[in-house]
Chains A and B, each alone.
Chain A
Amino acid sequence: MTTTPESPDGGATAAPAPVAPPGARFDPVTGAELGAGGSERKESFALQPGEPVMSFNMVTSLMPLASGTAPQTYRWALGLGLLVPVIAGALGYLAFAFVAAALVVPAIYVVYMYDVNEWEDQPVAVVLGTIGAAAALGVGFTFLWHAGLLGDEVAPVDFGQGAGGVRWSTLLVLVLLVPVVGELVKQVGPLFLASRPQFDDMIDGLTFGVAAGASFAAAETIVVNRSLFSSFGSIDSPDSGFWVSLILSAAIVKPIVYGAATGIAVAAWSGIGSGFDGFKPSYLRGLGEALLANILFQAGLYVASRVEGTAGAVIGLIWGALIAAVLLVRLRYLLHYAVLEAALEASSKGTTLKDSAHGTAFCPSCEMPLLEGANFCVVCGTATRAGGKVTRARNRSVDAAATPSLKPVPAGTAPRDNSKTAVVVGAVVAAIVLGGAIGQGVAAAGEDDAPLSPEDSGIVLEPDLGAGPTTEDAPEPADPPGPDPDPTEESDESSSESSTESSNGSSAKLASFSTALSDGFTDEESEGTDDGSGGIGGGPQPDDTTTSSDIVDLGVAGFRVPAGWEVEFNEPGFAQLWGPGGYFIALTTPSPASMEGLISDHLQGLEGFGVQELEYTQPEAISLPTSAVVDAQTLFYRGLMASQQGGTFPVEGFGYYFLTQDGTGITAFGLFEQGALDASTDLVDGYNAMLNDLVSTIQ
């Protein structure tokens, strides 16, 4: 809204201000509610008078120009648009669901902008400046923090009985870096456009900010869920509650939060009146509100992700919805009071607003005729600013100066915007379905159907002779009656000696496990480790500064912590470590344990941790690594984990299960992102070292 008067003499000869006729409910100039006793107009939203200012109506908040019958159109579009990804997700078509979810709000918004001609006949500039720029920047920035900064650390995996360690790098990135930098990145395009004269209106700024935010959210959703396009694009037995929560979060909550926050900031940048306010305190306030909202949103999602399973997903969804609701209300108040303030200011200065009615003009909401020079409808109170650009252009022009680009309308007929409900809804749904189908097609093409295979994992348990109990020698036979036979010459003297030798060596290792690690290697161990593959079982060789704190003690067995690994949690019977790309967890089960129980407890535990669509190989017996163990089995598994923040990522791992001579069970398993074992020799070496240490120390 501008203070520049229409008349060239600066308003000295401006038309007299319209007077409300008897019975009018609202003042045509200021929009104040007549008869309200001077109280603030709160029960009638200036841009949609059928609603109070305090309302969570997403359509009228984010699409304020879709007044009249148009809100119903976009409610239909939103409802049906949400239904598509929700149904797809409930059926297990995850790639389809997440791409469709990402497109819901952007698709509706593009149609909205076309419908209200928000881009003033410059669609390319507007689309590129908002949606295109935001999406591109969203893809780039998300890759930077999701795949670059955090890599696989973004996996919010949390195991163990009460394991509560916080990985501070992850926390800082997710809760500070992402929301702060992301918000600034989102505003690049909208701020540029809002500085153009044809888009200097506050509602223009709001619109561009919402569009950019929604597009950025869409890009982020697709990038963090990119693994769906190579594996687990569709799953057979989805946990509907879990996946629908994530999909709703991606489809509606995140776009609202991102869009509303950016919309608030960019609206503040644009300011009231023509031109833009720029980096003024009002913008800084708006930016601050946007940043705070994003930080709170991400922090809540981080906390929710530490709650296992569907409960965590639902908590995250509810938290996001709360943030979104607050932002919507804030946005409504911002627009409402901006519209009223602009009118009041113009009235006090004796000037007219840009969208004041002239000539034959009709209310964009109730279609009642508008008084000459009116800024508000006297009947319903809708601001003249609330109409689409077509309507506003017609209302503010003198009848003889119809805009050539507008379609001619019959005289006396209220101008209607292009709002054919079926076409709008159809276009939105079609865009969503098409996007989802493309996503599912890409996933199908990239899906890895290769069966799980325990081979080539690189993990090798080497039998440690003498590490456990040894078989006593057979007794010497008695002499026979009669002559004595000659002494026996053994054919192979070395086998018993080598067995004794290895037994002594292993016994030395066992007897002085902690001491040897504290004091560094014994000579015997050092001699065999020149090729760097030494240590027990051939893992990475700890350096001479190994201390007792680098030893994990489970009570019945233990292992050294390889370089590059960090103990996140250790108590008797349980240890959780994080290393170069994966987790290693070892836990004990008191006697009498059973192999079947160890395996089923482990697999159930993985499902409880949130691993969806768990597939696993048949448990396979392996050669005993030590005689202290009576049974040893292994299996490999893979599955899918997801959260609102981290997206979806396929995981895989191995499990080793040992039953000791006294009936104690030991479970040792690794969990890492799919392909991590192939990519990282450090990871394999670490697992080998820890596993071989572990079995060597079982008594």
Chain B
Amino acid sequence: MTPRRRRSRQSSSPRRYVAGAAALGVLTVVGGASGAAAPAAAPGGAADWTMMVYAVGDTGGVPELMVQNLSQLAALPDADNVNVVVMLDLPERNDPDFPTSTLPGMGEFTTTKLLVLDGNRFNEIRDYGEVAMGRPDVLAAFIEEAAGRFPAAKYGLSLFDHGGGSFGGYIDEGPPSTTGMSIPDIRDGMAAGMARSGIKSFDLLFHAACLMSNYETASALAPLARTMVGSEENMIKWPLSVQGFPPLRENASGQQVGEAFIDGYRQLLDDVAKENGGQPYRDLAAMSIVAGEPIQRLDKAIESFSKVAVAHMDEIAVEVARARADALEFVIGLPGSGARDSIDHIDLGDFLRHLENLPPEVEVARDAAFAALEASVTAQVTGRATEQATGLNVFLPTDPAKARGYVESGTAPRGWGEFVTAFLQAGVDAGTSSGFGFTSDQAEVLLQDQTGIKIAGQLTAESLDQVTATETQVYTRLGDTDGALALALPGYLNAGGRGQVQGVWDYAVTTLSDGRTSIPATTAYQIQSGGLVGDFLAQYTAPGGTTTDIGVRVLLSSEGQIQGVNVVDLSNGSAAGIELQNGGTVTPYLFVPGSGGFDQVLSSQSLPVSDQLVVDFERLPAGTPFRMALLALDVGGNAASATVEARVQ
């Protein structure tokens, strides 16, 4: 078993305080820009490291943060044995996302430029004009040119932009056309560039993007990189931590540099929490380092697991669905929200842990896959909300429509693709189960007092072995909207008796608050070991008037307190960090039952962005009427419910 660094998690002791300046304390400021011309290659021949940064900046929501992040690198001391080469594309000047900052040494620009960091400034090597960086051939050309101009003993590649897990990312929305790279595209681009430049393997591949510590990505890129770093979760603000760069100067290994990157991001999150008045961001972090060679054995183990699981799918489909429902999910979807629906990325290891009641040969294969996963993940940084994370997320949908193209596009690793296909087919084959449901559509109130309410519903005998997930939903008036879905909370199967489903609620809803005004938002929560992890959607209006859809992810404690928050830009189907600027406004989305599902509507209430803006969990006023429902789902996606109406006490 490969020795694995212990996961770093936030302890219950006072948070580690690191001042913003102190976080950058390792850096020494070198006075003045040298104004020297950009060198074509590091002096004295091959360097120890060449770190390539592929910064797709012509994308909604990221240019400003990207320029700020890259500017931080310019403050690093020069190192003759390290080359930092950047390919950066920025939007047009009339684009609302055009950055207000500039890179040290560079003025404003809108095209794609090849830059090298030297003398505490970026130096232009050449201007490509407008190229679509969301194309694999452009990525290949960048790798080839960077390696050709700046040869080194070790090579690192950082991909910087929106990320979407198994959906790929690195989306260029600017001219000549909008392009984005799927996982096969990323692999093809990297492989072509490496072949042309003679790089056998990258020593480090860092995804400065959301959700890219992803099994499909790792599997595709493992032959190309010895060490891969990324986040299972969303990444906010400046993902390319400056702390990852000093070890390059010491000719550290890819693993060591990767550890420095994730440690640096952890410190950043602590700093951001301090700036934003105390709501921790690190509780929602899930960074991980995976090793390339063991990933190839993980592939074999997953193939073996898939083979036996598929053979037994008719026996285990319900267990698979249950495990999928209980596993840590990233970006929990809100029902019927279309593009904002769940992206169906769950933690692979947590899914395997929850998979129970299996035939022996499936159990053996599951154990082998879990062990192989553990051997692949060499380091992690997690928080309370993500303490169940094991290093890699993976795509496992419950709706066959969402899996269209997953296998055919070459995204799915072979074994996993077959497993997903078989699981979805089992759901289709299950069809509509007659007899699935509650014995009564009226739930029973077991307990109601000022602390909260507990209700229960009894499933029919036929339903006992078919139910895969349960949920509790609370509907009430939110703002001016009647009957809106306030919360989706866990349901508790077999609580209090076999076949009984219970739901509990403490009368509180998720709100955005500035200390004086609180506006509720429809939020879906998933129970985890560290608390309840929830997601809600909102619309952010920047001071300049542009609007962007954002996702807010929160950690809710057992005491009903919001203990962790992160905010990401969801403008183009993937996620990236976003900075909410004071002077802007945030308007939550509400979900209201409609024909065939839910309608997503903007709340009539908004709040201005300020330093006082927080996410809270507030009790509804006494007497507020509400409807509470218990939901049960089977492997075919059929739902049954039992409801009760009451008032807040």
Hey, which chain A residues are within 8 Å of B353, CB to CB? 471-475
Q: Does A485 contact B (CB under 8 A)?
A: yes
The docked-state distance in angstroms from the alpha carbon of A82 to that of B368 is: 61
Q: Does B87 contact A (CB under 8 A)?
A: no
The docked-state distance in angstroms from the alpha carbon of A627 to that of B371 is: 8
Q: Does A464 contact B (CB under 8 A)?
A: yes
The docked-state distance in angstroms from the alpha carbon of A121 to that of B357 is: 90
Question: Which residue on B lies nearest to A629, using beta carbons?
Answer: B368
Are the C-beta atoms of A623 and B308 separated by less than 8 Å? yes
Q: Which of B267-275, B336-344, B513-521, B522-530 contacts A (4 or more CB under 8 A)?
A: B522-530
Q: Does B289 contact A (CB under 8 A)?
A: no
Are the C-beta atoms of B368 and A485 separated by less than 8 Å? no
Hey, which chain B residues are within 8 Å of A632, CB to CB? 304
Hey, which chain A residues are within 8 Å of B429, CB to CB? none
Whether A627 contacts B367 in the complex (CB less than 8 A), given A475-B387, A475-B529, A482-B452, comes out as: yes
Q: Does A463 contact B (CB under 8 A)?
A: yes
Are the C-beta atoms of A624 and B361 separated by less than 8 Å? yes
Q: Hey, what's the 0/1 contact readout for A476-502 against B, CB within 8 Å counting as 1?
A: 111111111111111110011001000
Mark out the residues of chain B between 530 and 579 whose CB falls within 8 Å of any chain A CB in the assembled complex.
530-532, 556-560
Q: Which of B237-245, B293-301, B477-485 contacts A (4 or more CB under 8 A)?
A: B293-301
In this complex, which of A483, A489, A623 has the most chain B Cβ atoms within 10 angstroms of its Cβ? A483
A485 to chain B, nearest CB (A): 4
A235 to chain B, nearest CB (A): 35
Q: What is the interface of chain A mostly: helix, strand, loop, or mixed?
A: loop
The docked-state distance in angstroms from the alpha carbon of A589 to that of B529 is: 42
Hey, which chain A residues are within 8 Å of B293, CB to CB? 592, 663
Are the C-beta atoms of B494 and A488 separated by less than 8 Å? yes
Are the C-beta atoms of B617 and A630 separated by less than 8 Å? no
Are the C-beta atoms of A488 and B492 separated by less than 8 Å? yes
Question: Which residue on A lies nearest to B493, using beta carbons?
Answer: A488
Q: Does A459 contact B (CB under 8 A)?
A: no
- Chain A contact residue count (CB 8 A cutoff): 49
Are the C-beta atoms of A483 and B447 separated by less than 8 Å? yes
Whether A631 contacts B301 in the complex (CB less than 8 A), given A469-B367, A469-B371, comes out as: yes
Are the C-beta atoms of A469 and B492 separated by less than 8 Å? no
The docked-state distance in angstroms from the alpha carbon of A383 to that of B485 is: 125
Q: Does A72 contact B (CB under 8 A)?
A: no
Are the C-beta atoms of B494 and A661 separated by less than 8 Å? no
Are the C-beta atoms of A627 and B527 separated by less than 8 Å? no
Question: Which residue on A lies nearest to B363, using beta carbons?
Answer: A465
Are the C-beta atoms of B364 and A482 separated by less than 8 Å? no
Hey, which chain B residues are within 8 Å of A484, CB to CB? 504
The docked-state distance in angstroms from the alpha carbon of A623 to that of B307 is: 8
Hey, which chain B residues are within 8 Å of A621, CB to CB? 303-304, 307
The docked-state distance in angstroms from the alpha carbon of A309 to that of B605 is: 87
The docked-state distance in angstroms from the alpha carbon of A561 to that of B304 is: 29
Are the C-beta atoms of A481 and B453 separated by less than 8 Å? no
Q: Does A198 contact B (CB under 8 A)?
A: no
The docked-state distance in angstroms from the alpha carbon of A251 to that of B422 is: 62
A310 to chain B, nearest CB (A): 37
In this complex, which of A480, A626, A659 has the most chain B Cβ atoms within 10 angstroms of its Cβ? A480
Are the C-beta atoms of A630 and B527 separated by less than 8 Å? no
Q: Does B505 contact A (CB under 8 A)?
A: yes
Are the C-beta atoms of B496 and A485 separated by less than 8 Å? yes
Hey, which chain A residues are within 8 Å of B367, CB to CB? 468-471, 627
The docked-state distance in angstroms from the alpha carbon of A468 to that of B530 is: 29
Mark out the residues of chain B between 350 and 384 whose CB falls within 8 Å of any chain A CB in the assembled complex.
350, 352-357, 360-361, 363-372, 374-375
A435 to chain B, nearest CB (A): 53
Mark out the residues of chain B between 439 and 458 whose CB falls within 8 Å of any chain A CB in the assembled complex.
446-447, 451-454
Are the C-beta atoms of B560 and A624 separated by less than 8 Å? no
Hey, which chain B residues are within 8 Å of A691, CB to CB? none
Hey, which chain B residues are within 8 Å of A662, CB to CB? 1-2, 375
Are the C-beta atoms of A480 and B532 separated by less than 8 Å? yes
Are the C-beta atoms of A627 and B368 separated by less than 8 Å? yes
Are the C-beta atoms of A475 and B532 separated by less than 8 Å? no
A474 to chain B, nearest CB (A): 4
Q: Does B506 contact A (CB under 8 A)?
A: yes
Q: Does B508 contact A (CB under 8 A)?
A: yes
Hey, which chain A residues are within 8 Å of B498, CB to CB? 489, 491
Whether A481 contacts B559 in the complex (CB less than 8 A), given A463-B361, A624-B361, A627-B367, comes out as: yes
The docked-state distance in angstroms from the alpha carbon of A488 to that of B326 is: 15
The docked-state distance in angstroms from the alpha carbon of A478 to that of B451 is: 18
The docked-state distance in angstroms from the alpha carbon of A473 to that of B326 is: 13
> Which residue in A470, A489, A592, A628 is a CB contact (below 8 Å) of B494?
A489
A498 to chain B, nearest CB (A): 9
Q: Does A595 contact B (CB under 8 A)?
A: yes
The docked-state distance in angstroms from the alpha carbon of A317 to that of B299 is: 51
Q: Does A650 contact B (CB under 8 A)?
A: no
Are the C-beta atoms of A626 and B527 separated by less than 8 Å? no
The docked-state distance in angstroms from the alpha carbon of A496 to that of B357 is: 8
In this complex, which of A464, A471, A476, A487 has the most chain B Cβ atoms within 10 angstroms of its Cβ? A471
Hey, which chain B residues are within 8 Å of A475, CB to CB? 353, 387-388, 528-529
> Which residue in A491, A496, A595 is a CB contact (below 8 Å) of B464?
A491
Are the C-beta atoms of A476 and B529 separated by less than 8 Å? yes
Are the C-beta atoms of A474 and B451 separated by less than 8 Å? no
Are the C-beta atoms of A471 and B532 separated by less than 8 Å? no
Q: Does B495 contact A (CB under 8 A)?
A: yes
B310 to chain A, nearest CB (A): 12
Q: Does A625 contact B (CB under 8 A)?
A: yes
> Which residue in B297, B508, B530 is a CB contact (below 8 Å) of A663?
B297
The docked-state distance in angstroms from the alpha carbon of A627 to that of B293 is: 19
Are the C-beta atoms of A631 and B304 separated by less than 8 Å? yes
Q: Does B427 contact A (CB under 8 A)?
A: no
Whether A483 contacts B304 in the complex (CB less than 8 A), given A464-B364, A661-B371, comes out as: no
A491 to chain B, nearest CB (A): 6
> Which residue in A463, A592, A630 is a CB contact (below 8 Å) of B301?
A630
Are the C-beta atoms of B388 and A482 separated by less than 8 Å? no
A462 to chain B, nearest CB (A): 9
Hey, which chain A residues are within 8 Å of B490, CB to CB? 477, 480
Question: Which residue on B lies nearest to A621, using beta carbons?
Answer: B307
The docked-state distance in angstroms from the alpha carbon of A488 to that of B490 is: 14
Are the C-beta atoms of A481 and B556 separated by less than 8 Å? yes
Hey, which chain B residues are within 8 Å of A472, CB to CB? 353, 370
Are the C-beta atoms of A483 and B504 separated by less than 8 Å? yes
Q: Does B600 contact A (CB under 8 A)?
A: no
Hey, which chain A residues are within 8 Å of B350, CB to CB? 474
The docked-state distance in angstroms from the alpha carbon of A407 to that of B340 is: 115
The docked-state distance in angstroms from the alpha carbon of A659 to that of B617 is: 51
Whether A491 contacts B494 in the complex (CB less than 8 A), given A474-B350, A661-B297, comes out as: yes
Hey, which chain A residues are within 8 Å of B308, CB to CB? 623-624
Whether A481 contacts B557 in the complex (CB less than 8 A), given A624-B364, A630-B298, comes out as: yes
> Which residue in A485, A492, A495, A661 is a CB contact (below 8 Å) of B492?
A485
Are the C-beta atoms of B366 and A471 separated by less than 8 Å? yes
Hey, which chain A residues are within 8 Å of B528, CB to CB? 475, 477-478
The docked-state distance in angstroms from the alpha carbon of A491 to that of B497 is: 10
Are the C-beta atoms of A631 and B505 separated by less than 8 Å? no
Are the C-beta atoms of B495 and A486 separated by less than 8 Å? yes
The docked-state distance in angstroms from the alpha carbon of A491 to that of B463 is: 13
Are the C-beta atoms of B303 and A481 separated by less than 8 Å? no
The docked-state distance in angstroms from the alpha carbon of A468 to that of B354 is: 19
Question: Which residue on A lies nearest to B388, using beta carbons?
Answer: A475
Q: Does B502 contact A (CB under 8 A)?
A: yes
Question: Which residue on B lies nearest to A487, using beta carbons?
Answer: B495
Interface residues of A, Cβ cutoff 8 Å to B: 463-465, 467-492, 495-496, 499, 592, 595, 621, 623-632, 659, 661-663
Assuming A477-B490, A482-B560, what are 19 further A-B pairs, CB within 8 angstroms?
A: A463-B360, A469-B371, A471-B355, A474-B353, A475-B353, A475-B529, A480-B489, A480-B490, A481-B506, A481-B532, A481-B558, A483-B447, A485-B503, A485-B504, A623-B304, A623-B364, A624-B361, A627-B367, A661-B297
What are 10 A-B interface contacts by the 8 Å CB criterion? A468-B364, A470-B367, A473-B353, A475-B353, A480-B527, A481-B506, A482-B560, A491-B465, A621-B304, A623-B361
Instruction: List the 3 closest pairs (A to B, CB-CB), nearest first.
Output: A482-B506, A482-B452, A486-B496
